Amino acid sequence: MKLDPKNIRYLSPEDWRVLQAVEQGSRNHEIVPTQLITTLSNARPGSQSSRSISTLAKNNLISRIQNASYDGYRLTYGGLDYLSLHAHLQSSAIYSIGNQIGVGKESDIFVVASPTGRRLVLKIHRLGRISFRTVKSNRDYLRKGSSGSWMYMSRLAAQKEYSFMSALRNAGFPVPEPVAWNRHTVVMGLVDAFPLRQIAKVPDPPALYGQLMDLILRLARFGLIHGDFNEFNILVEEIGPSGRTLNQEYDEDEAVLPSNPHDQNHPAPTDKPVTLNPIIIDFPQTLSISHPNAEFYFNRDVNCIKIFFQRRFGFTSDEPGPFLADAIENVGQGEGVRRLDLEVEATGFNKKLAKELEKYMKELGVDGDHNGDGGEETDGFVGEDDGGEEDVSGEDVIEQDSFAEGAPEAEKEILPESSEDL
Ligand code: ADP
Ligand code: MG
C-alpha cells in the first residue's frame, strides 16, 4: 500500500480513462465487470482497453478478482493514489513529489512541491488500513460494508479534514494552510516545526500549557472540539528574535551558528527569548460542541495535555479544568466569534456524513494518536506511534513534466462528480 509514483509517467491517456472507469464503476459494483470498464472508458471494445487493463493490473492500480462469478476488477489503494495525484498535478496544486515524512496509523504524509517551489504536505488518508493491523476483529462489519468502503471513508476523512482546516484557518486559528483536497488526499502548507512529542524541554512550561488550554477554549468558543488534541498533533514552531522560525534563521544564515561575537556581520544572538507558537493539525476526529459526547472528548483533550505536561515537564497546573460547562457559556460569544461547526456543515460536510465517518472509525477502532488512558510514556521521545513514523528515504523529486505525459486533458468530462459527490 506504499505510494510509488514512479510509474505515473508511463500511463497513456487510454490507461487513465480505464483507471477512471474502474473508479466510476466501483460506486455501484464491488467488482467492476470488465465489460462495464470498457463501456465507461469509452474505449472501442477490443485490444486497446484490454491492453490498458493489463498495464494497470501489472502496476497494481487495479486488481483482478479471480473467484467472482464474473470477470472483473477492483480499484486498489495504489490506483486511487494515482487518480488523486494526477488530479493535483493537473490542477497545479502540486508539481512534484518528495520524501515520505510520516506513516501514521491511518495516513501517509509526503513532502511535495508547488509549481513555485514552495514545500507543501500531501496527506493520504488510509482509513481501513488499521483493520489489517488491529487485533480487534471488525471483519464482519468490514465485509458487510466493503463495497469500496475504505475508499469512500478515506475520502470522507480527507473531506472532513480539509473542511475543518479551511474553516479554522479562515477564522485565524493556527493551522496549516489548506491548499487542495481530492478524493482521499489533502494538500496543505508545510509547518516548519516538530511535534510537541519530540520536544525535550521548553523554556516556560506553564506559559505553553496556558497557550494550549487557551486554544482548547477558543476552539470551544467557535463551536469545536479537536477530539485528538495531544502531543502528536501539536507542532511547536520556535520563533526567533527576528520573527522567523529558528529553522529559517538557521537555513538562511548557517554561518551564525555557533555565533562569533567578533564577527560584525554575524553578531551574537540577543537575549530576546524564543517564543513558542503551537500549530494544530489532524482534524478527522474534530467534532461540534453540540455533539452528544462533547464532554467526554473535551475532557480527554484537556487531560491529554495535563498528563503530558506532568510527565514530560513535571508541570501540574494549580487551576482545575477547564470544563466544558464553562466553555459552553461562551460559545459564539465575543467579537468576530463564529460557529465553525455550523459553517463546516454548510460547506457540505454535514451531520449525516459526520455520523457515517464516526461510526466507521469506531468500528475500526480508530481513536486518534493519543494513548487512550493517557498511557505510559515510552523511553526518550519516541512514542508508539512514532515507531511507524520512520523516515522513509523516498523517491527523489520527480518532475511533473514526466507525470503529465500521456495524461488525459479532461478528467472532469469522464468523472464529472468525482469529488463533489460525497
Ligand atoms: P495521522 O492522522 O496519521 O496522525 P497527522 O496529520 O497527525 O496524521 O500527521 C502525522 C505526522 O506528520 C505529524 O505528527 C507531523 O509530524 C507530520 N505532519 C503532518 N502534517 C504536517 C504539516 N502540515 N507540516 C509538517 N508536518 C506535518
Ligand atoms: Mg496525528
Tell me what pLDDT residue 368 has: 80
Q: Which-ligand-closest: CA of 197? A: 1
210 CA distance to ligand 2 centroid (A)? Answer: 22
pLDDT < 50 positions in the chain: 132-147, 255-263, 267-268, 371-422
* Residue 287 Cβ < 6 Å to ligand 1: no
Could you tell me if the CB of 49 is within 6 A of ligand 1? no
| Per-residue pLDDT reduced to its tens digit, 328-383 | 999 999 999 999 999 999 999 999 999 999 999 988 888 887 644 333 444 333 33
Active-site position among 108, 228, 369, 385: 228
φ/ψ (deg, to 5) at 324: -60, -40
**106 CB within 6 A, ligand 1:** yes
Give dist(CA 210, CA 231) in Å, integer: 15
What pLDDT does 253 receive?
59
Relative to the CA of 233, which ligand 1 atom is closest? 7
Instruction: Tell me the three cell numbers of residue 388.
Output: 511507524
Residue 359's closest CA among 160, 77, 153?
A: 153
Mutate which of 247, 281, 286 to test ligand 1's pocket (most atoms within 8 Å of Cβ)? 281
239-295 residue pLDDT tens: 988 888 877 777 665 544 444 444 455 544 556 678 999 999 999 999 999 999 999
Q: Which ligand is nearest to the CA of 386?
A: 1
CA–CA separation, 389 and 100 (whole Å): 9
Number of the ligand closest to the Cα of 177: 1
Q: How is residue 378 written as a grid cell? A: 515510552
The sheet that has 275-280: what strands, in order across it?
A: 194-195, 234-239, 275-280
Q: Identity (one letter) of the amino acid at 207?
A: A
Whole-number Å distance, alpha carbon 6 to ligand 1 midpoint, is 23
Alpha carbon distances (Å) from 122 to 85, 91, 181, 214 = 9, 14, 10, 29
Sheet holding 119-125, edge to edge: 96-103, 107-113, 119-125, 185-189, 178-182
Cβ-proximal residues to 252 (8 Å cutoff; 6+ apart), any chain: 244
Q: Please give the distance, rounded to the nearest whole angstrom, from the Cα atom of residue 333 to the centre of ligand 2.
A: 30
pLDDT of 151: 87
Nearest CA to ligand 1 atom 3: 104
Chain-centroid distance of CA 236 in Å reads: 18
pTM: 0.83
Listed residue (273, 219, 207) closest to 243, CA to CA: 273
Task: Specify the pLDDT at position 399.
Answer: 35
386 ligand 1 Cβ < 6 A: no
386 Cβ contact partners less than 8 Å away, ≥ 6 residues apart? 197, 198
Domains and CATH numbers, the chain: 5-190+389-414 (3.30.200.20), 194-243+274-388 (1.10.510.10)
Q: Which pLDDT does position 137 carry in this prediction?
A: 43
Annotation marks residue 228 as catalytic:
yes
CA distances from residue 391 to 103, 104, 111 in whole angstroms, order as listed? 9, 12, 12
pLDDT at res. 364: 84
- For ligand 1, whether the C-beta of 195 sits within 6 Å is yes
